[in-house]
Amino acid sequence: MKANFVTDTPDIRYHLTRRIDFNELFAGLTDEDREISGCTTADEYRDLILTSLESLGELCGTELAPNAAQVEKEPIYLKDGDVVLPPTIVENVQKLLQLGAAGLGAQPKYGGMGLPFLVEACANEVIMRACPSTGLNIVWFGGISAIVEKFGSEEIKDFVVPRIVSGEWSGSMGLTEPDAGSDLGSLRTYGEKQPDGTWKLYGSKRFISNGCSQVCLVLAMNAKGVKGLNNLNMFLCLRKPPFRLDGQEDSKVEFNYTVNKIEDKLGLHGSATCEINFDGSVAYLLGENGKGFQHMLHLMNDARIAVGFQALGNMEAMYRLSADYCSQRKAWGVPIAHHEMVAEKLLDMEVDTRALRSLCYQAAYNQSILYQCEKLLVDKTLTEERKHELERKAGLARKRVRKWTPLIKWYGAERAIKMSQDCLALHGGYGYTREYKAEWWLRETPILAIYEGTSHIQALMCVKDTLKDVIRAPGKFIETALGLRVQALRPGDGLRKKLYRAKQLQSGAIMSLLLRLLKTNVRSTISEAKPTDLMRMVKLLSRDLIKFENVGPALLHAERICEIKSLVSLAQCLVWDAEDDPSRAIYAERFLNKSWPRLNQLKLEIEEEDSVLQARLDAYRAEAPEGATKVAG
């Protein structure tokens, strides 16, 4: 089988050569990064990255993808306290390590290549298209080493990072507990500080991907019995000797922390999802005491973007699988791809995959700019002018990444899951058998909506930030909403007009949500149609929104707001692409055409008064014990 998962996807090359500003990326390299690349111009740097990705694409297309079926057949099990991975996974990972996959973004002084985050994200798309289980085994090198580099002491970094970059050690992230999933403030695992400066960890974690790794970043309380996000620490814990920096190992201790079991999962059979236990495990504090939650967010944000790229790789694979089958399978004398309903599904698979890729690449690019600026700002010799320039760039990139990350994670997960169902249905009876890969993708995709923050958590993040934006600048929000009405009515480019209509509807949906909040919390009648009422609403929002006790309507409609903002952001990126390359206008137009009815429906659902649902929520709220978090409130 000869295939290259980069060169056979021209859309990847388009974004890297036309939509990503390599002049900015090259300018943001440190002298050390530039020297290790061997490049003297932005064009050379872009070509180096393209060549590297094409080498990866060949490996994924010719070896990893064909091996995926074998990964499914080989068992993964515990033996003498250690996890035995499938031989094919071990072989796949070794081939990726030989290409340097473990050290793409690490600093050159630790043996890394110092490449932008964008490159790691692009690699994730291609690997996840080939074999998600292999992807889940390789992704824990770069992500973990980046956090150790950012928050570890010099001693910790020198001890740990080179071993990760070389591929000797892999990592994992220990967050979830049996009784605390998304509610991190209720974690029970805790650390006790020791006289020698180390900590001892106690507790257990569950559903930990690659939990058998040598390096585990553990989120735990900084004392026994305490609660709340402000008491969380991030610890580094090494599983097998050497697990102490000073070399004072206990020869009787085989494992610093133990793997109790491997979960028997629906999919990702080549990735070890473990329950792990800490019983006085030696650990080291990363970053500041009590700042563990903030530190872990850096890893979580990268991981959520990576999941968006994983969804993208899955979607590309499922679209191609469906298109190939439907072009060959005939009914009534023609390929079923020519039948109206099938043709529409295939078109939307293609359009939605392109839309997600456009937004994902923009997010990863901005994350790269942010990290480059942060690295350069460490230089104490910067002029004030240069410092302000870097801070401005970093602020803009941070704002974009903050806005887009939950949208990428939410839309990528939800759309990939729906696409897996469509892929199976398009295969008919064959799709329900193991003869074709449709049923395999149906089992590989549901995890996207669960790990690294569930879809519901992404929606809550989105609506929380939406309300914050209104609180900070309610006048600007109203002005934007009114301005979009005018822009949508002006003559001009058809795509732009459709985009302005979508943005106007987004503002209207947020306005409807705010009116619901006002109605629930303030005894005042507001009409969306009256400008004087809108100005009065601005004053009420400025004064009272942050004080509202009942934000139930916002929580209830969080996923609807998230979907609306996802569709509008995806449409925006497709319009940008079309303005750069007119041949891409068909994708933007189709996406806007099919999104318009959905946007209207979501807005109507936000405005709908459902007395039955409200009665149920009121009953739950009344039953909640004193001091407990109220349902949807």
Average pLDDT over residues 190-194: 97
CATH class assigned to 1-169: mainly alpha
Interatomic CA distance for residues 510 and 469, integer angstroms = 11
* Residue ranges with strand state E in 166-305: 171-174, 190-193, 199-209, 215-221, 232-238, 258-262, 273-286
Per the CB < 8 A criterion, the answer to whether 169 and 214 are in contact is yes
How many CA atoms within 13 Å lie on the side-chain side of 191? Answer: 28
What is the predicted pLDDT for the residue at 631?
38
Kindly indicate the confidence band of residue 477, based on its pLDDT and cuts at 50, 70 and 90: confident
DSSP per-residue string spanning 121-161: HHHHHHHHHH-HHHHHHHHHHHHHHHHHHHHS-HHHHHHHH
What is the predicted pLDDT for the residue at 542?
62
Interatomic CA distance for residues 623 and 631, integer angstroms = 10
The structure's pTM equals: 0.94
Structural domain boundaries in the chain: 1-169, 170-290, 300-453, 468-607
Range with the poorest average pLDDT among 18-27, 221-230, 615-624: 615-624
Per the CB < 8 A criterion, the answer to whether 470 and 452 are in contact is no
User: pLDDT tens digits, residue range 45-75?
Assistant: 999 999 999 999 999 999 999 999 999 999 9
What is the predicted pLDDT for the residue at 341?
97
What is the predicted pLDDT for the residue at 529?
57
CA distances to 28, 88, 113, 236 from 213, rounded to whole Å, are 33, 18, 23, 12
> Percentage of the chain surpassing pLDDT 90?
80
User: pLDDT tens digits, residue range 430-459?
Assistant: 999 999 999 999 999 999 999 999 999 999
Report strand pairing: 171-174 vs 215-221.
Answer: parallel
Kindly indicate the confidence band of residue 630, based on its pLDDT and cuts at 50, 70 and 90: very low
What's the distance, CA 368 to chain centroid? 15
Average pLDDT over residues 304-332: 97
pLDDT tops 50 at residue 633: no
State in Å, rounded, how far the first CA of the chain is from the last one.
Answer: 55
Average pLDDT over residues 1-29: 94
Interatomic CA distance for residues 191 and 198, integer angstroms = 10
Range with the poorest average pLDDT among 249-253, 392-396, 565-569: 249-253
User: pLDDT tens digits, residue range 86-115?
Assistant: 999 999 999 999 999 999 999 999 999 999
* Chain length of the chain: 633
Asked if CATH classification 3.30.565.10 holds for the domain at 170-290, the reply, yes or no, is no
CATH number of the domain located at residue range(s) 300-453 in this protein: 1.20.140.10
| Biggest CA-to-CA distance, the chain | 80
Helix then strand then coil, % of the chain, to nearest 5: 65, 10, 25
Q: What is the mean pLDDT of the chain?
A: 92
Interatomic CA distance for residues 130 and 63, integer angstroms = 9
Closest CA to 556 of 459, 625, 477: 459
Inter-axis angle of helices 558-580 and 585-607, to 10 degrees? 160
Per the CB < 8 A criterion, the answer to whether 140 and 216 are in contact is no
Interatomic CA distance for residues 553 and 353, integer angstroms = 32
What is the predicted pLDDT for the residue at 482?
73
Q: Which residues contact 484 (CB under 8 A, 6 or more apart)?
A: 500, 503, 504, 507
What is the predicted pLDDT for the residue at 527?
61
Q: What is the DSSP letter of 7?
A: T
How many CA atoms within 13 Å lie on the side-chain side of 498? Answer: 20
Per the CB < 8 A criterion, the answer to whether 318 and 441 are in contact is yes
User: pLDDT tens digits, residue range 548-564?
Assistant: 666 777 889 999 999 99
pLDDT greater at residue 353 or residue 181: 353
> Percentage of the chain surpassing pLDDT 70?
93
User: pLDDT tens digits, residue range 592-626?
Assistant: 999 999 999 999 999 998 889 989 988 988 887 76
pLDDT tops 70 at residue 391: yes
Kindly indicate the confidence band of residue 533, based on its pLDDT and cuts at 50, 70 and 90: low
Average pLDDT over residues 287-295: 95
